[in-house]
Amino acid sequence: MNSLQERVAELADILLASKKTVVLTGAGISTESGIPDFRSPGGLWSKIDPMYAFSAETFIHRPEVFYKAGLPHLTSITTARPNRAHEVLAGLEKAGLISCVITQNVDGLHQRAGSTRVLEVHGHLRSATCMSCGSKITWDHLLDKVFAGQVPPRCGDCRGIYKPDCVFFGDSMTADFTEATREATTSELLLVVGSSLEVSPVNYLPMLAGKLAIVNLGPTMADRRALLVINNRAGQTMDLLWNELHSRGKV
């Protein structure tokens, strides 16, 4: 097994040879920002049943379940800060070495690190939408209503219930997912950073790209198909990649 440095050098070779590269990230890229992932030991799904607190079915019939059991986990996300892996991906976009980041995360950390082409296939936590009239409020305004005791929070106009603009289990996918499918299909290389690739339909995206590389602590269902797999922390690996590209005068 060659060393981490040798594998990072191989990743740099693959990236530099690719005419179009997209990156697919998951919760594993944000654990070093203090946000637990879902399926690692101690991850969020070991503490709360996702189908109970984060399913569209439950939300429609008993929205208070989400606002009492699920919301606290999401509010902790909004105070996190980008880590080195997010920063490197933003730098790779600026250097023209990746064309976009497709993320399953709703934490907004890619944008806060400076990435501008971010496809949020599972939505985001910037706003919420009234399920009756479609009007929108900001996340902060939604929290103000909840913390003032209005559970579930209701629309000031029609008294409908507000639903956060992130994808719940059973929801239809976002328009960003449709664009992500186009991006993956037309990419020469798809780099996965920090995802177990357990959840469909996003886990089909790596199959659409010409070549696949994976940076992930744990194994994934796509490993055997990947040109290169680096089982290491995203922050350290992406930092080493940046230094390797810098030593070659590419960033």
- List residues with catalytic annotation: 122
Give all strands (DSSP E) within 26-172, no chain letters: 100-103, 118-120, 123-130, 136-138, 162-166
Residues between 173 and 202 with contacts to ligand APR, criterion CB under 6 A: 194-196, 198-199
State the Cα angle at 175 between 102 and 183, rounded to 5°: 40
Interface pick for ligand APR out of 12, 23, 27, 89 (rule CB under 6 A)? 27
As given in the structure block, the two tokens for residue 102 are: 């497709």
Decide: is 50 part of the binding site for ligand APR (CB under 6 A): yes
Closest separation between CB of residue 55 and ligand APR, Å? 11
User: Among 27-35, 65-73, 91-99, 238-246, which window interacts with ligand APR (CB under 6 A)?
Assistant: 27-35
In the complex, residue closest to ligand APR by CB: 28
User: Among 39-47, 60-68, 171-179, 183-191, which window interacts with ligand APR (CB under 6 A)?
Assistant: 39-47
What residues pair up with 192 in beta bridges, in sequence order?
A: 24, 214
Nearest alpha carbon to residue 124 among 167, 159, 95, 69: 167
Q: Are strands 162-166 and 136-138 parallel, antiparallel or unpaired?
A: unpaired
Residue pair 69/48 in contact by the 8 Å Cβ criterion: yes
Q: Which is nearer to ligand APR, 210 or 218 (CB)?
A: 218
d(CA 184, CA 209): 5
Q: Applying CB under 6 A, which residues contact ligand APR?
A: 26-28, 31-32, 37-40, 43, 50, 104, 122, 194-196, 198-199, 216-218, 233-234
